[in-house]
Amino acid sequence: MPSSPLVQLNDVAVRYGRVPVLNSVELEVPAGEATGIVGPNGSGKSTLLRVLATLLRPTEGRVSVFGTEMGRETAFSIRRRIALIGHQPALYPQLTLRENLVFVSRLSGHSEERVDEMLDLVGLAGAKHRRAEQSSHGMQRRVEFARVILTKPDLLLLDEAHAGLDREAGQLVDAVVENVRSRGGAAVFVSHELDRMLPLVQSTYELVGGAVIPGGSR
| Average pLDDT score over residue span 152-163 | 89
- Residue-wise pLDDT tens digits, 80-138: 899 999 878 889 999 999 999 999 999 888 888 899 999 999 999 999 999 999 999 88
pLDDT band at 185 (very low <50, low <70, confident <90, very high): very high
Q: What is the mean pLDDT of the chain?
A: 88
Q: In the prediction, which pLDDT does 215 show?
A: 80
Pick 98 or 2 by higher pLDDT. 98
Residue 1, pLDDT above cutoff 80: no
Q: What is the DSSP string of the chain?
A: -PPPPSEEEEEEEEEETTEEEEEEEEEEE-TT-EEEEE--TTSSHHHHHHHHTTSS--SEEEEEETTEE--HHHHHHHHTTEEEE-SS----TTSBHHHHHHHHHHHHT--GGGHHHHHHHTT-GGGTTSBGGGS-HHHHHHHHHHHHHHH--SEEEEESTTTT--HHHHHHHHHHHHHHHHTT-EEEEEES-HHHHGGG-SEEEEEETTEEEEEEE-
Interval 62-79: pLDDT, tens: 999 998 888 766 667 788
